[in-house]
């Protein structure tokens, strides 16, 4: 196998057709050095000629003009026979000689910017016109015939190609061609997946018979959740619109917590609210109108759990808050920007990771969970709550203040691992119970947290992510001082819950939606 990897193929003819025309000059210089004939078309041909390099236009090479407004340029037997023929096949050589065709040994192609077009327009006709047909066809042909043909699909590969040609005096090794073939098939698959997903979206098909996924590698992580696991992060967006501006490399667990924190932060009112997350669970949230106070209230909910956690501020972080944030150990601080004085203060800690999320937004995308070869897919729980989403079922009606707190608590509740209970007062969480098999246990945890860190709370409300199956849960909450409760309906004991609320003069709201989060 070692000898096979060194099989060289000399390049005589190269076909270049690129949408991304940057960095062509160094490439053209090396092709000229080794007397490699260049074939090209359209804008690429014009650019090559402008750079003062010789080039044969595709229409002259094939003796067939471009037609259909440029839709048909390279879709010609002379092009594809030149790429696809097996050089060691007598029959293939015979066919080429019969038609007076010649080999094409190097294909340099990148595609019409379909993904960029999607980001820039909703015009369906313009989007369709930016589906490349000839480019992917040539790339697949060259990648299939990697034994004889070299294929390049990105300007990022030009330097490696230049080094390869220089090292082997105008030839490429089989090892190099195999590598580029693998990259090429990934590129065509990625390109087609974007088109596939666009058409499914256009036809409102979230769950087609066959589902294709695509993503760009952001970085390989040091390890996964634990050191013996591998990890990496991919994104449909090449940079995720998250900017790390200071600190150590982010880990798998950092990203997991960051996503949990941002999911909550971006559900809060614009430029308002602080979220503190530990192990992907919120341990404190506040939307106090004073941003500095919102952090203080969020921290007060559970300062012990906040140690070593992630703080996400849905606003720009200033100097005063930076001083406060530096008082405890945090893994990550997220802000909708940082002012200069805040950065100066926060950067005193060498390892703290600072993330700018001002350009990050949540989209109505699908959520994936996988095991082995199976993948669960669902739409995200991004519902925005209003008063209309709740029904007052108790005799006692909520005050406007209670209603505001109930909606706030219920919004946070859906981001807490089930079974979830959130206690809130003054637009801030004061106790959170999460991840328990028993809803009653979650109630007890939330109450204990409140008692441990908050001595007294007026207008105390509670939210549950699903219905109370028995009276014992809501009874425990009321005994702790809760005056109003919101829960989804649907239990066979809903009437018993309502009766208990009326007997204790507790405000009770039923939600029209349940919010499990596992």
Long-range CB contact pairs, 348-356, < 8 A, 24+: 350/247, 351/247, 351/248, 352/246, 352/247, 353/244, 353/246, 353/247, 353/248, 353/250, 353/254, 354/244, 354/245, 354/246, 354/247, 355/242, 355/243, 355/244, 355/245, 355/258, 356/242, 356/243, 356/244, 356/245
| Nearest-angstrom CA–CA distance, 54 and 35 | 10
Nearest CA to 135 out of 114, 164, 149 is that of 114
Alpha carbon separation from 27 to 34, 57, 469 (Å, rounded): 11, 18, 70
Q: What angle do CA 493, 498, 502 make, to 5 degrees?
A: 150
Residue of 92, 214, 246, 279 marked catalytic? 279
| Nearest-angstrom CA–CA distance, 102 and 82 | 6
Residue of 144, 246, 248, 358 marked catalytic? 144
DSSP output for 179-225 = HHHHHHHHHHHHHHHHHHHHHHHHTT-SS-SS-----EEEEE-S-SS
Long-range CB contact pairs, 405-410, < 8 A, 24+: 405/459, 405/461, 405/484, 406/461, 406/463, 406/484, 406/485, 406/486, 406/507, 406/509, 407/486, 408/287, 409/461, 409/462, 409/463, 409/486, 410/385, 410/463, 410/486, 410/511, 410/515
Q: Bridge partners of 407?
A: none
Backbone angles phi, psi at 30, to 5 degrees: -70, -35
Nearest CA to 311 out of 343, 344, 265, 349 is that of 265
User: Active site includes 214?
Assistant: no
Nearest CA to 191 out of 214, 168, 163 is that of 214
Nearest CA to 219 out of 189, 240, 201 is that of 240
User: Active site includes 236?
Assistant: no
Give the pairing type, strands 461-464 and 421-425.
antiparallel
Backbone angles phi, psi at 252, to 5 degrees: -55, -45
Please list, in sequence order, all residues whose beta carbon lies within 8 angstroms of the beta carbon of residue 393, skipping any fewer than 6 positions away: 489, 498, 501, 508, 509, 510
Residues belonging to the active site: 144, 279
């Amino acid at each position: 196998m070692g000898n096979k990897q060194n099989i060289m193929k000399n390049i005589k003819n190269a076909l270049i057709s690129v949408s991304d025309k940057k960095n062509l000059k160094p490439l053209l210089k090396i092709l000229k050095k080794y007397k490699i004939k260049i074939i090209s078309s359209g804008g690429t041909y014009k650019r090559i000629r402008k750079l003062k390099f010789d080039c044969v236009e595709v229409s002259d090479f094939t003796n067939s003009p471009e037609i259909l407004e440029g839709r048909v340029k390279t879709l010609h037997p002379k092009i594809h026979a030149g790429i696809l023929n097996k050089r060691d096949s007598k029959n293939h050589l015979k066919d080429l000689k019969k038609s007076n065709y010649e080999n094409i040994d190097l294909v340099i192609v990148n595609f019409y910017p379909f993904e960029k077009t999607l980001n820039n327009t909703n015009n369906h006709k313009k989007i369709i016109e930016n589906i490349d047909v000839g480019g992917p066809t040539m790339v697949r042909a060259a990648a299939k015939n990697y034994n004889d043909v070299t294929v390049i699909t990105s300007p990022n590969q030009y330097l490696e190609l230049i080094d390869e040609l220089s090292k082997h005096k105008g030839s490429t090794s089989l090892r190099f061609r195999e590598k580029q073939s693998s990259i090429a098939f990934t590129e065509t698959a990625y390109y087609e997946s974007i088109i596939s997903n666009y058409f499914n979206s256009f036809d409102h098909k979230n769950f087609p018979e066959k589902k294709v996924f695509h993503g760009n590698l952001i970085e390989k992580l040091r390890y996964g959740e634990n050191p013996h696991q591998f990890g990496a992060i991919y994104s449909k967006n090449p940079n995720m619109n998250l900017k790390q501006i200071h600190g150590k490399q982010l880990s798998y667990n950092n990203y997991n917590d960051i996503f949990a924190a941002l999911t909550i932060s971006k559900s809060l009112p614009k430029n308002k609210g602080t979220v503190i997350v530990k192990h992907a669970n919120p341990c404190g949230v506040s939307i106090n109108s004073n941003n500095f106070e919102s952090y203080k209230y969020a921290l007060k909910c559970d300062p012990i759990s906040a140690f070593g956690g992630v703080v996400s501020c849905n606003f720009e972080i200033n100097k005063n808050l930076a001083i406060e944030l530096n008082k405890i150990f945090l893994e990550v601080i997220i802000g909708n920007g940082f002012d200069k004085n805040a950065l100066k203060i926060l950067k005193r800690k060498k390892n703290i990771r600072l993330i700018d999320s001002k350009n990050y937004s949540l989209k109505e995308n699908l959520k994936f969970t996988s095991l082995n070869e199976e993948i669960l897919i669902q739409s995200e729980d991004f519902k925005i709550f209003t008063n209309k989403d709740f029904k007052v079922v108790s005799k006692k009606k909520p005050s406007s203040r209670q209603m505001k707190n109930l909606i706030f608590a219920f919004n946070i509740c859906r981001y807490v691992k089930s079974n979830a209970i959130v206690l809130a007062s003054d637009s801030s969480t004061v106790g959170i119970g999460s991840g328990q098999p028993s809803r009653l246990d979650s109630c007890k945890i939330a109450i204990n947290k409140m008692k441990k860190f908050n001595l007294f709370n007026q207008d105390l409300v509670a939210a549950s992510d699903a219905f109370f199956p028995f009276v014992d849960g809501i009874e425990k909450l009321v005994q702790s001082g809760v005056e109003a409760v919101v829960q989804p309906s649907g239990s066979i004991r809903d009437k018993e819950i309502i009766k208990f609320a009326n007997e204790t003069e507790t405000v009770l709201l039923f939600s029209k939606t349940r919010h499990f989060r596992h």
